[in-house]
A and B are shown apart, each in its own frame.
Chain A
Amino acid sequence: MAAQRGWMNNLFLDTGSTSFTEFVGSYAPGLLPGRFESAAGSVAHQIPHATTIVAATFADGVVMAGDRRATSGNYISQKDMEKVFRTDDYSCMGIAGAASTGIEMARLYLVELEHYEKREGRMLSVEGKANRLGTMIRANLPMAMQGMVVVPLFAAYDEDAGTGRIFSYDVGGGPYEQTNYASIGSGSLFARGALKKLYREGASLEDTVLACVESLYDAADDDSATGGPDVTRKIWPLVAVITEDGYRRLSDEEVEAYVRQVLDRRMTEPDGPTAPLR
């Protein structure tokens, strides 16, 4: 077997663990995101940042929505960025922070979940998926200290419990399970305030998507790094829904209908719907 040793880095002989990330780490470590730990200084203001993501559970699952803007300082580097990623049939993640590292992390995480599923013939539990993402965020901590902060929001449909679940993270990892709704990114404070007033437990899909779109509008209203709906270019927020039937990204036409509803109302009430005080 002498000639076989080292061939394709023992691809067939060393069957290793179920983690794709571990495999990449030993096979081609240069492919992992965020391994160049000695950036000279903070690069935070020079690289595009992804901004606001919101997620909310509803009667049949969970909704995640994100705006489409990426910024580098005061410069809008992309108008139609997609920050919500399908990670498997029953989960998705949204990213805020350094866009490049975030996208790479989402790509790696997708393969990580799929790799486990194909090897083991079963899907990871929702907790397992959430923990795994936490480890990946923690691994990025040295980069985060250099300004390449990535914070994801993770949403999944729990097939055993029959409900949607949301997990948030900080730069050191996580996960922190959130009840009902959560938001991340620069506009998250405003989005969270709006969701707090608009969210209804056990609401329909339509109402929950509408609440998410309203909250993103509020975030864009008060945060310069969050993009509002771009009516002239027809760029709408990205809305993903996960139910028993799996992950589905709403089409542009569907989202446009929700956005038009929000815009029509704001023509007369610029601050959007108000919650009853008494």
Chain B
Amino acid sequence: MSMPFGYVSPEQEMRDKADFARKGIARGRSVVVLQYENGILFVAPNASRALHKISEIYDRIGFAAVGKYNEFEALRLGGIRYADINGYTYDRSDVTARGLANLYAQSLGMVFTESRKPYEVELVVAEVGDAPEDDQIYRLTFDGSVADEHGFVVMGGVADTVAGRLKDRFRQGMPLAEALDVALGALTEPGGERPPVSQLEVAVLDRTREHRKFQRLTGARLERLIATGAAGAKPSAEPTVSPDTGDALNGGPGESPATAPEGDIDTGSGD
């Protein structure tokens, strides 16, 4: 049986697309999303103050992305529309991160299989609950796979390295200043210099806030928080870190989510 000239097998095509997308994502800097005492913290080194990597989607839902700006911006705007139209049609409490993550997965999956160029993006959709146990963090990759994360997520450039550093210091229920310090520590190479405040994009989903939980931390407040965190980090020899926190984070970055056809297959069965 002869193959037509220029034939590319589906396997090969998917692999090429996945490699292409992964390379695009790896060019950017990492973004960290982690749980803290009162909610969820987003930290992204970002030299631009106009082009956000972190955004509010709805009352309790935040969004973070790495990769190609125009692509994740289109996804962000679509997400805001989805959330606003659902909240307006039904009730504000009926807008969930799960629904939004599913929609993103659909869209990303469709683009990955049907268009010539896959989206070079990776997203986190996070929803803050009434208690830390109710927090939800979903990580979405360029092919539409969804992973339900607990504790923290790192995506972008050197995600595995950053996640490794983060895992060493992360524990549940950290105060905001400490969580920020841990995130910045993870984003910085050992011995390297931390990015200045002007080049950081930081936001929280704070469950103690009224109405809209999303808040950007900027300027003087961010500087104070960083200073508090850095001061608190010195005497951290005190045994506050329980030795088995690492195990509590099921699905930590060690067993990172499916990111491509050759990764674990997302069966949707929840395990």
> CB-defined interface of B71-86 with A at 8 Å, one 1/0 digit per residue?
0001101101110110
Residues of the B chain whose Cβ atoms lie less than 8 Å from the Cβ of A28:
85, 89
- Consensus secondary structure, chain A interface: helix
Residues of A5-52 at the interface with B, using a CB-CB cut-off of 8 Å, are: 7-8, 11-13, 15, 20, 23-24, 27-28, 31
Q: How large is the interface on B (under 10, 10 to 19, 20 to 34, 35 or more residues)?
A: 20 to 34
Residues of the B chain whose Cβ atoms lie less than 8 Å from the Cβ of A266:
none
Q: In the assembled complex, how far is the CB of residue B209 from the closest CB belonging to chain A, in whole angstroms?
A: 11
Which of B7-15, B52-60, B258-266 is the interface stretch?
B52-60
Q: A118-B55, A118-B80 are in contact. Are A111 and B107 (CB under 8 A)?
A: no
B20 at interface by CB-CB < 8 Å: no
Residues of the A chain whose Cβ atoms lie less than 8 Å from the Cβ of B115:
1
Q: A15-B74, A118-B80 are in contact. Are A31 and B114 (CB under 8 A)?
A: no
B69 at interface by CB-CB < 8 Å: no
Separation of A23 and B78 alpha carbons in the complex (Å): 11
Contact A121 B57 (CB under 8 A): no
Q: A111-B87, A118-B56, A121-B52 are in contact. Are A3 and B80 (CB under 8 A)?
A: no
Separation of A1 and B116 alpha carbons in the complex (Å): 9
Contact B74 A115 (CB under 8 A): no
Residues of the B chain whose Cβ atoms lie less than 8 Å from the Cβ of A121:
52, 55
Q: A12-B75, A31-B89 are in contact. Are A1 and B84 (CB under 8 A)?
A: no
Contact B74 A12 (CB under 8 A): yes
Residues of the A chain whose Cβ atoms lie less than 8 Å from the Cβ of B55:
118, 121
Most-contacted residue by chain B among A11, A12, A24 (CB, 10 A): A12
Separation of A119 and B211 alpha carbons in the complex (Å): 18
A4 at interface by CB-CB < 8 Å: yes
The 9 closest A-B pairs by CB, nearest first: A12-B78, A11-B78, A15-B77, A111-B88, A118-B80, A111-B84, A115-B84, A118-B56, A12-B107
- Residue numbers of B with Cβ under 8 A of A are 52, 55-57, 74-75, 77-78, 80-82, 84-85, 87-89, 103, 107, 110-111, 114-115, 211-212
Jot down 16 A-B pairs with beta carbons below 8 A, ordered by A.
A1-B115, A3-B114, A4-B111, A8-B107, A12-B75, A12-B77, A12-B78, A12-B107, A15-B77, A15-B78, A20-B84, A23-B81, A31-B85, A108-B88, A115-B80, A121-B52
- Residue numbers of A with Cβ under 8 A of B are 1, 3-4, 7-8, 11-13, 15, 20, 23-24, 27-28, 31, 86, 89, 107-108, 111, 114-115, 118-119, 121
